[in-house]
Amino acid sequence: MGTISKDFSYKEFEVTDQPGFKFKNMIASMEVRDSVKALVNNLLQPLRDAWTKPLHINSGYRCHELNQAIHGTATSQHLKGEAADVCPYGNRNTAGDPDVVLQLAQLAYDMKLPFDQMILYPTFVHFSHKINGKQRGQVLYSKNYKGERVK
């Protein structure tokens, strides 16, 4: 499908490195494509511009088979292309630093970016953006996140 913005492509949202995963995780509808584009244009690209360093998409769009394989919820916004797990290190294999995760989340919060949910994990931040409907602006924390809170 190509480029979404100067720093993001659709391919990044289809990549999966789940061991043994045999299905193609491809964006197969215009609705999902449009949702990914809205997520990038309204949230991720403005955040990337302000962050000034690379951001890595750990998980973007998920087909149903992938979502089941990783035990994702049946209502996951990843299924609609409305969510991405973003690593602030530019590389998913870099050891996590909760301070850097917090800095990225705090920046998104301070910029008043339109997110539906922002969930902090030890090594990444989950961002979601609804293509239709009001953004809830929820800031949540995974049970494994032990860092400081967004203020």
Q: Is 140 exposed, middle or buried (0-12, 13-18, 19+ CB in 10 A)?
A: exposed
Of all residues in the chain, the percent with pLDDT exceeding 70 is: 92
Per-residue pLDDT reduced to its tens digit, 40-81: 999 999 999 999 999 999 899 999 999 998 889 999 999 999
150 vs 89, more confident: 150
Q: Is the pLDDT of residue 135 over 70?
A: yes
| Selection from 35, 50, 45 nearest residue 129 by Cα | 35
Range scoring the smallest mean pLDDT among 20-24, 56-60, 85-89, 140-144: 20-24
pLDDT at 16: 75
